Amino acid sequence: MPQTERMFWRRIDRPGHEVVELRQQPDGWRLHGIAVFADGAQYSALEYDIICDARWRTTSTTVTSLLGVDSRTVELVRLPTGEWLVDGAPRADLRGCYDVDLGFSPSTNLLPIRRLSLAVGGEAAVRAAWVRFPELTVEVLEQAYRRTADSTYHYESAGGKFSRDLVVNRVGFVLEYPGIWTAGMPPDEAAD
């Protein structure tokens, strides 16, 4: 029976929520999610689909964004050779990236956490294909993960300019992303 896990997050810094499903497939993993949150005076809705191989390396990503009346989709593909395509165009600068990082979501921290499988005290540098929001442009984001306890990782990006201590569950989903996201039950389930 394929493994399936679901997470629900509530945005802390502005109104918003996200739900994601992780599903095991015969040859890897699929991460499918929807995030809705306020962006200034309007709401944003983003739907994403990420496919990883059995070693947790991203092979394809599709993100569709609805921002006000505008809609945009970006598609990323990592070929078996390690080359990346963004909307069908080669992107040599993304070579060496194994993960995609969605700038609007805590879900993609799961990818390097699972791929690296660090022991407590272990650390690793990561190059991610970073999908920025709201532009949906893609660039390289240098990151570092250090596992500080069984369920805690110290995360840094932009040469240490951004850092957070992330609490994760047994699967690797972030439970607390300080100042931005917190895991929780959907409002109707929390009342039960």
How would DSSP label each residue in 24-77?
Answer: EETTEEEEEEEEEEEETTEEEEEEEEEEEETTS-EEEEEEEEEETTEEEEEEEE
Q: List, in sequence order, every residue forming a beta bridge with 22; answer none if it has no partner.
A: 5, 31
Q: What is the pLDDT of residue 192?
A: 43
Residue 101 — very low, low, confident or very high, per pLDDT cuts 50/70/90? Answer: very high
pLDDT above 50 (res 190) = no
Q: What is the pLDDT of residue 2?
A: 67
User: Are β-strands 123-131 and 99-102 bridged in parallel, bridged antiparallel, or unpaired?
Assistant: parallel
pLDDT tens sequence across 17-52: 999 999 999 999 999 999 998 877 788 899 999 999
The 3-state DSSP class for residue 13 equals coil
φ/ψ region of 174 (left if φ > 0, alpha if ψ in -120 to 50, else beta) reads beta
Q: What is the pLDDT of residue 130?
A: 97
Q: Report domain extents, the chain.
A: 4-190
pLDDT tens sequence across 128-182: 999 998 889 999 999 999 999 999 999 999 888 999 999 999 999 999 999 999 9
Q: What is the pLDDT of residue 70?
A: 83
Rounded to the nearest 5 percent, the helix, strand and coil shares of the chain are 10, 60, 30
Of the CA atoms within 13 Å of residue 138, those in its CB half-sphere come to 27
Is residue 80 reached through a cis peptide bond, with omega within 30 degrees of 0 on the bond before it? no
